[in-house]
Structure 1
Amino acid sequence: MPLITVLFVAGFGPITKIDQESKSLYLDTLQLPIKAMQGNESYMSTEDGELDGVKHFALWPLAQAAESCFGVKEWPAEFSIPQSWIEFEVENIAEASAELLSRGYQLLVNNRLEPWGQSVTRFLSPEGILTGLTVTPWLHSSNKE
């Protein structure tokens, strides 16, 4: 019997350095349902049930992330090395990508169809998280039946 049995990813979020830039991305641009916690206005989070959980958890080697974003196995020195990755499933990847560009985000990958059928746009968040907006058909419950 294992000593630890993990049931699901209970939470994930960036550790922010420049709070306003982070709030601008997650609250204004991505429109996540986050709000300030009562008694701790700088801690912003979702409440239970407001945002579906993680559908995929993976350890992604940096060399593979670099190849996915830049086509090379070394992360380019001009970009901060990400400490984590996160992907947000969106309804319309073209519109979401255009919105990011209009708000000044530098896209590392712009609405690319991957060989496995996922469409992805990737950029670095203000915290240095490798952030993806995706359309992943097999993750939708209506496609599983």
Structure 2
Amino acid sequence: MEILFVASVSVIARDPERSRRLYVDVLGLPLERLAGEYFASERIDGSRHFGVWPLAEAAEACFGAPDWPADRPVPQVSIEFELADAAAVADGAAELEAAGHRLLHGARTEPWGQTVARLQTVEGLVVGLSYAPWLH
């Protein structure tokens, strides 16, 4: 698998508004509301995408329900690694599974056009393999 770059880092927030106040009001990051309570920016030097991802939305993206499963560590951050194309995401997901990693979900294309597969590390971090066409 060939990682091209870090595509995204998002804080996973139980209280997105409180987190937004830190990152926008105190640190001055140019985060904008993209949808619901999701705040993000693609205008921070050195970062392709930085966001504050509500825990309920992360749970929905990973499990199809707004509650994070009680048998899994509640994540605090998500990082996505960009691959060359959607097929590379599927291949990378298969490579992770072959190496013994249990995926939260396999490669799939989200409504906004990003193809992503995700796993959760033993530390609780959500790691994604991603292909976001607008980043290329």
TM range (shorter): 0.5 to 0.7
Q: Deviations over 1:67-108 (max 9, x none)?
A: 000011100011111011111101211111111001111111
SS in 2 for 1:121: strand
Structure with max Cα Rg: 1
Supply the distance in 2 between the matched residues of 1:4 and 1:104 (Cα, whole angstroms): 39
Q: How does 1:1-145 map to 2 (within 5 A)?
A: 8=44, 53-91=46-84, 92-140=88-136
- Give the % identical residues: 47
Bigger fraction of residues in strand: 2
Supply the distance in 2 between the matched residues of 1:105 and 1:3 (Cα, whole angstroms): 38
CA separation of 1:74/1:95 partners in 2, compared to 1, >3 Å: closer, same or farther?
same
Q: TM-score, normalised by structure 1?
A: 0.60
Q: How many residues align?
A: 96
Supply the distance in 2 between the matched residues of 1:76 and 1:126 (Cα, whole angstroms): 15
Greater RCO, 1 or 2 (C-alpha within 8 Å, sep 6+)? 2
Unaligned ranges ≥5, structure 2: 1-24, 30-42
Where has structure 1 moved over 3 Å in runs of 4 or more? 2-9
Aligned-residue offset at 1:4: 5.6
Q: TM-score, normalised by structure 2?
A: 0.64
